[in-house]
Amino acid sequence: MPAVQDMKKQKPVVLLVDKIHPTYLAKLERCARVVRPDAYDEESLAALAEKEQIDAMIIRTRGCVTEKILRASPNLKIVGRHGIGVDHIDIDAATRAGIWVVNTPEGSRVAVAEHTWAMILALAKNGPRADRAVRTGDFPFRERCKSIELRGKTLGVIGLGRIGTTVADIGKRAFGMNIIYTDILKFPAKEKRLGATKVTLKKLLASSQVVTLHTPLDASTEGMIGAEQLSWMRPETFLINCARGAIVDGAALASALKSGTIAGAGLDVFVPEEPPLDHPLMSCENAIFAPHSAAQTPEANLAYAEVVNDILLVLSGKAPKFPLNKIKRKK
């Protein structure tokens, strides 16, 4: 029995919680033994991690990385996020255990920025509603619902990271919009290039015709946009959320859309992840939705799979390229 276990451990073991691009799967399998779960709950993942004595773990959207799973993995050196958001990974617990956490910050930058603009334009030009009008012979729709022009309007960006900056850049260069932003950090170089101004959240919501969310989900951003914040917005404003569903209070947003507090919303993310058909947002005609698909492009999925590069760096005793924490390296 020990001989069999020794053979299994000739290569490091990587727990792959979800599928990745075949190119990087092949690269990973050349250097490691890849194991996959049959179930994604905490108990099942912890049991598999302990049984296989995993050295690394790659997680996408299914499952989570909790302290219990980390404790069950004494050989674990790195957790890789196939994507950007890490709200389902306990980074503090990983740091205490000396385990790297990495993601792929550039992976979906272009895909999500383009999707954001697809939603903005669909709302500004009444795209889906106009399509339905034509299909039902309702040409008088054009007299009831006018489109708006974006030139000269104010784009408020909440979170001026990689994606937020790309969205702002498109707004500035393509549509001549004025850019304001709010963030825990200040970005003087970006401000100069974009002609952007950092403002408070309240001022941003009160001043923008388009508000777009590109901030991570954490304790400081959960519920950031609720009934009070929506009341600060203009009746002609569109709200776009391609970040995380829990940043916005869905029930409050539905109420604001139905009362005319804001003009419309574009949502790629929800709470729960798959909202029920009787969710109050589903009856809002001035909202458009996507099934958390903003980053589902071949290019983004290939870029996300580059997390394998950091996994292999750490397994070879080197530091990762995109760490989200600072640790003392395990020997």
Question: Strand 13-16 and strand 100-102: pairing?
Answer: unpaired
Q: Distance between CA 69 and CA 81 in Å, rounded?
A: 15
Sequence-ordered strand ranges (E) for the chain = 13-16, 33-35, 56-59, 78-81, 100-102, 154-158, 178-182, 197-198, 210-213, 238-241, 264-267, 287-289
Q: Please, where are the H alpha helices in 55-178?
A: 67-71, 91-96, 109-124, 127-135, 141-144, 162-175
Is 244 a residue of the active site? yes
Q: Distance between CA 240 and CA 131 in Å, rounded?
A: 21
- Helix (H) / strand (E) element for 258: namely helix 250-259
Catalytic hit among 292, 299, 306, 329:
292
Give the pair of three-digit tokens for residue 293. 């698909």
- C-alpha angle with apex 97: 78 to 309, nearest 5 degrees? 10
Dihedrals phi, psi of 176, to nearest 5 degrees:
65, 35
Catalytic hit among 274, 299, 306, 329:
274
Is 135 a residue of the active site? no
- Which residues lie across from 311 on neighbouring strands? none
Catalytic hit among 244, 279, 285, 329:
244
- Which residues lie across from 33 on neighbouring strands? 13
254, amino acid identity: A
Residues with active-site annotation: 244, 274, 292
